[in-house]
Amino acid sequence: MKRLTYAFLALLLLLGVSVWIATLPLGALGWPAGVAIALLKALVVVGVFMEYRRQSWESRAAAWAGGVWLLFLLALVLVDLGTR
């Protein structure tokens, strides 16, 4: 029960950080910074709320597969876009 509460507070903190960072003049770095914080938040949700460590290995693999396959799609589309 305590773990959940800490995780929730951490998520709210990260939300504040991401809004604050967006007001800094970071230029092109703003995009990756925003995504990085979102990724961090997602990891907290998966790790604590979705109890990643309590899942069977198959379930964990499924979670990874979704992310990895999305990277396949993104990477190869960008290979085309980046070299046109």
Tell me which residues touch another protein (CB under 8 A).
Answer: 1, 4-5, 7-8, 11-12, 15, 18-19, 21-27, 30-31, 34-35, 37-38, 41-42, 45-46, 48-50, 54-56, 58-60, 62-63, 65-67, 69-70, 72-74, 76-84
Closest CB 31 distance from another protein, rounded Å: 8
CA quadruple 6, 46, 28, 78: dihedral, nearest 10: 180
Closest CB 84 distance from another protein, rounded Å: 4
Write the CA distances from 2 to 6, 47, 49, 51, 77, integer angstroms. Answer: 6, 14, 12, 14, 43
